[in-house]
Amino acid sequence: MIDDKNVLSNQIKQMIKDNFELEIPVFIVLQEELKELLKGAPDWWGDDNTEIYHNLIFMLPPLTYEEFSDQIGNPKKEYEKVHHYKNVIFWSFSRKDYHKTNWWSKTASSNVSNKITIR
């Protein structure tokens, strides 16, 4: 299964490079893997509250949570909720206070920004 994902990922990367002259990482999550990861979601993540922005951060191998947190730092507990599970981080915050979070700007500007994808 991992070999199939790597082959597909490499094919997609090559198509992007050929068609758009861009070299970007491609991360593939199989449906079964996503279901398993979502089982690890905390109770507060993904509820129907539209004032809360729920994110799922995928850490691309070989990035570890420890390396990620060393670069990004600790979340601000008064504005952000975080739960680490396997190679993902469940991250939620108030839409109106996003600019007060510690992670908002750092996920895009840190040394790990090209080693994660946020959905």
Same domain assignment for residues 87 and 49: yes
- Residues 48, 73 within the same domain: yes
Cα–Cα distance between 77 and 117 in angstroms, integer?
22
Residue 92 belongs to domain spanning: 40-118
Q: Are 66 and 104 members of one domain? A: yes
Tell me, yes or no, whether 73 and 18 share the same domain: no
Answer yes or no: do 57 and 108 share one domain. Answer: yes
For residue 24, is it within any domain? Answer: yes
Tokens coding 16: 């992007």
- Can you tell me the distance from the alpha carbon of 33 to that of 99, in angstroms, rounded to the nearest whole number? 32
- What token pair was written down for 82? 């975080």
| 35 domain-assigned | no
Average pLDDT of each block of 10 consecutive residues along the chain (119 residues)? 82 96 90 94 92 95 93 94 96 94 88 90
Bridge partners, residue 54, by sequence: 92
Cα(54)–Cα(119) distance, rounded to whole angstroms? Answer: 9
Note the pLDDT of residue 1.
Answer: 60
Query: Taking the model in full, what pTM does it have?
Result: 0.86
Q: What is the pLDDT of residue 2?
A: 63
